[in-house]
Structure 1
């Protein structure tokens, strides 16, 4: 859920059955499937990293700092080093393109996201995010010390619509068909979330903050992490099926996880943690672009592009005297390079870091990851439907998908008819390992049929207008904030000269968290190497 995260969405029972192959038996579409590929992270490289067998080093280099991993955390670490005048570093990325789950694609109609597609207007405490946004021209100035955002990069109206009771309505809060109990539980829930959002802890910190490191450490708040979100709802006595369906949508939207597997702390944080700080009344708005957060990837990479090497599989990291030894396999050159560094930042998912540096990084079994399917669907006319017109974010109350966003929403004059719809499905109703197997086992045609039929159920007016469906599989799309997650990241941090940087350490797969961890690691490395800098944290 996006701008309405502190208001309430009632969703009916989902119509998409993603588990165990049951969906295919319910599909009714008979027309020929549109063209389109099946992409995702490079499985061959990932399996090679898992299986080993790399050649012995034939090249040798010396670098002050190596950043292993070029997702948002790794790019943020590089950006922070560069911004502080520290230039003796390299970023090594396994894929052929940096950006992690914030990458994007492009076709003749539009750029589009492959994963993360927006950044909420940052909270007051998110100083490093605002520093970056000023450099990128997203924040254009200040008024009485409060940031002013470029209106062209804030999500334009209509921001959201919900397919509810056979019609599209504005916003994600249903206005009809609610029982008295539904209304009472929804109101009580919203009042409680608003109180959490306004609360300041006894330590002077917001109860729930973004990045989460700035959140209060009050004992009653931390105790929420020992419960799952459904158990917490049970304790409040809120049993409205509309509220429960709303909570399920929200948890799958940000965490790719069913609410009974989400820490109650993370569940409350979703609704109470955002307080966008801006003068123009857009605090609940988002920053978004046709390519989604790939715009931020491009901006981060632009600060240190000549120091980023893609197609490099870092497969061994070990301490070497007072420094670090890093072995990486150059896919194009078919050769291993051994780098001697004064410090190393492992900016990768924790299960990968634990594999390549087992002596210093442990606890991989405590982390689990949500699998997703993303589809970018090119259509030659804009979706319509009964009720309000097309919005940026379009959600159906009768689907287990999360609906679709419109890539050209911010540039409506570029292609007045054709557009790309980015459709999202977290495979959350089964164990993650089973969902990953399903992602691999199902054919592209089966997935295309699922995507097509789900879109046509929302928008029958798109019949005959779908021109292509490009699929993207994320086996480990994001960390799952299961109960007990608050302590996991701190429990696995090695000592310098090794540093970890990834949103896994926060337990929340958000841009702000990945950036915070990257900046934290970069500033830790600079302090270790006695490079002068003023902290952004």
Structure 2
């Protein structure tokens, strides 16, 4: 379906049902609120517009430049180490990709919305979850005990395939036996790879990725795409290929014929954390996505946050000086931050622009900047739950067998089993992986709110038809033009990222980009590492 013609879908046939007319009229009445986090600040920096002189100078021991998960975990670790003289510059959006929003009392995500149970190697994540009270006891046991409020309740996931909902994300109903046999073979291979160790004795796929095996036999997977690996292994099932493509788009914002085979397999093989009070492979989730987790870190660390975006980071004889600005009614206001050390908790393409002479640290922007996947996240405030098709009940995560949408999650899912609330929020995710990142960003900027709503609604319309629009009160759309680094073949050997990992001096680097893809576990690892160095 042409996304630009979505608003006329109800009138596409000669005989239009009354419900379709009502749905079409309802869509005409909805004007979504559209957010472009960082767009104005980014364009201001790109165009190198002049800033007024700094209105104030802030002095601190450690400056944390960025308030996403890497910045928040850096603050949390500094506080744990007893260092309290630090401040944080938010960046264009507080909490970055972990940000969320709310419609009154109902929270919703505008970025990441879940966290897998951490495996044994992810002790840094277990440290955080135990300190925040999410793990209640036995944090380093094989199966810690979690606060059940945040463990994902069943039903967890379903797929709309051939007009019917089915449990799980990989098609099974009406699928030929030979395809089902390939499904079984693939997941048996995943189970084996989860426990496989390289010649250095390390597991080949773990979080954090720096603890994964360096065995060249397995690192060679980074020279091909996941699709190529599947073809080499003889997997021909269209439904298996669709499923693995969906997973790459969901986790990395890029198709499986672009994603590194190492990264594509890591998606499955690294996630096998267990809990004493949940089934294997369970997830942690919050109505507001990862923002409550980020806010918990902020509260624990007693963070002093300052609104603003960094323009330049320079070393001086006494440490580091960061020039920052914020836009007030469209006009820039600048201020200066002076610190002994600075943690650059920002994406690498931003760091390459603002860190003075970043080449001295071994980073070449033209050579080393990752390719960034754009995302669209739309939150629909519903005045009631839409009528469901029979067979499989509404789940937390609901996916439609099509592209480029990634389905929708239900923010109030944890309440459904007890007493369904009168209102709810459905959060629809779209990875614009059906086009190049550059063309996707251009489309985002050029599209009208109605066109954005059309794309955001495609999966929901496929699921509910004309019955969905009358349930909608408000729509909030967030566009992230550079949402996440895509782990394309060769990402493991990115020279610049490898160089920045080892930097130890007045300027330090902390971001999931150092690992090559955007997940909580990696961002937290680099935030904690930078904090440990900054505290020295």
When normalised by structure 2's length, the TM-score is 0.90
Deviation for aligned residue 1:109: 5.6
Gaps of 5+ in 1: 1-15, 530-537
Q: Partner residue of 1:400?
A: 404
SS at match of 2:190: helix
Distance 1:474 1:188 in 2: 37
CA contact (8 A) 1:64 1:343 kept: yes
Distance 1:402 1:178 in 2: 21
CA contact (8 A) 1:17 1:400 kept: no
Q: 2:110 aligns with which of 103, 110, 114?
A: 114
When normalised by structure 1's length, the TM-score is 0.89
Distance 2:430 2:293 in 1: 23
Distance 1:344 1:464 in 2: 50
CA contact (8 A) 2:512 2:526 kept: yes
Distance 1:316 1:382 in 2: 48
1:141 matched to 2:137 = yes
Distance 1:26 1:269 in 2: 40
1:381 matched to 2:375 = no
Q: Partner residue of 1:59?
A: 56
Q: Where do residues 117-128 of structure 1 align in structure 2 (5 Å cutoff)? A: 117-128=113-124
SS at match of 1:449: helix
Q: 2:194 aligns with which of 185, 192, 197?
A: 197
Q: 1:31 aligns with which of 25, 30, 44?
A: 25
Deviation for aligned residue 1:26: 6.6
Q: 1:452 aligns with which of 448, 452, 457?
A: 457
CA contact (8 A) 2:400 2:459 kept: no
Label 1:258 to 1:25 Cα distance change in 2 as closer, same or farther (>3 A). Answer: farther
Q: Partner residue of 1:524?
A: 533
Q: Partner residue of 2:499?
A: 491
Distance 1:54 1:144 in 2: 50
Distance 1:453 1:125 in 2: 39
Q: Where do residues 162-177 of structure 1 align in structure 2 (5 Å cutoff)? A: 162-177=159-174
1:471 matched to 2:480 = no
Q: Partner residue of 2:299?
A: 302
Q: Partner residue of 2:447?
A: 442
Label 1:186 to 1:283 Cα distance change in 2 as closer, same or farther (>3 A). Answer: closer
Q: 1:337 aligns with which of 335, 338, 347?
A: 335
Q: Partner residue of 1:158?
A: 155
Provide Cα deviations, 1:463-504, integer angstroms capped at 9, x if missing partner.
522222211111011110011111222134444121111111
Q: Partner residue of 1:368?
A: 371
Label 1:264 to 1:211 Cα distance change in 2 as closer, same or farther (>3 A). Answer: same
Q: Partner residue of 1:250?
A: 247
Cα root mean square deviation, aligned: 2.2
Provide Cα deviations, 1:222-268, integer angstroms capped at 9, x if missing partner.
11111111121221121221111111101001000011110110011
Deviation for aligned residue 1:103: 0.6
CA contact (8 A) 2:321 2:338 kept: yes
Q: Where do residues 13-32 of structure 1 align in structure 2 (5 Å cutoff)? A: 28=12, 30-32=24-26
SS at match of 1:242: helix
SS at match of 1:112: strand
CA contact (8 A) 1:109 1:420 kept: no
Distance 2:468 2:332 in 1: 47
Provide Cα deviations, 1:308-348, integer angstroms capped at 9, x if missing partner.
112x1211111213622221225459543333322111100
**Structure 1 range deviating more: 76-85 or 233-242:** 233-242
SS at match of 2:473: strand
Deviation for aligned residue 1:94: 2.4
Label 1:473 to 1:334 Cα distance change in 2 as closer, same or farther (>3 A). Answer: closer
SS at match of 1:486: helix
Q: 1:279 aligns with which of 249, 252, 276?
A: 276
Q: Partner residue of 2:436?
A: 431
Distance 1:212 1:251 in 2: 17
CA contact (8 A) 2:155 2:395 kept: yes
SS at match of 1:246: helix
Deviation for aligned residue 1:46: 1.5
Deviation for aligned residue 1:162: 1.4
Label 1:330 to 1:420 Cα distance change in 2 as closer, same or farther (>3 A). Answer: closer
1:215 matched to 2:212 = yes
Label 1:106 to 1:266 Cα distance change in 2 as closer, same or farther (>3 A). Answer: same
Distance 1:269 1:363 in 2: 27
1:507 matched to 2:532 = no
Q: Partner residue of 1:4?
A: none
**Structure 1 range deviating more: 325-334 or 117-126:** 325-334
Q: Partner residue of 2:265?
A: 268
Distance 1:409 1:499 in 2: 40
Deviation for aligned residue 1:453: 4.5
**Structure 1 range deviating more: 167-176 or 109-118:** 167-176
Deviation for aligned residue 1:510: 0.5
Distance 1:485 1:75 in 2: 25
Label 1:322 to 1:483 Cα distance change in 2 as closer, same or farther (>3 A). Answer: farther
SS at match of 2:378: strand
1:350 matched to 2:356 = no
CA contact (8 A) 1:143 1:279 kept: no
**Structure 1 range deviating more: 483-492 or 27-36:** 27-36
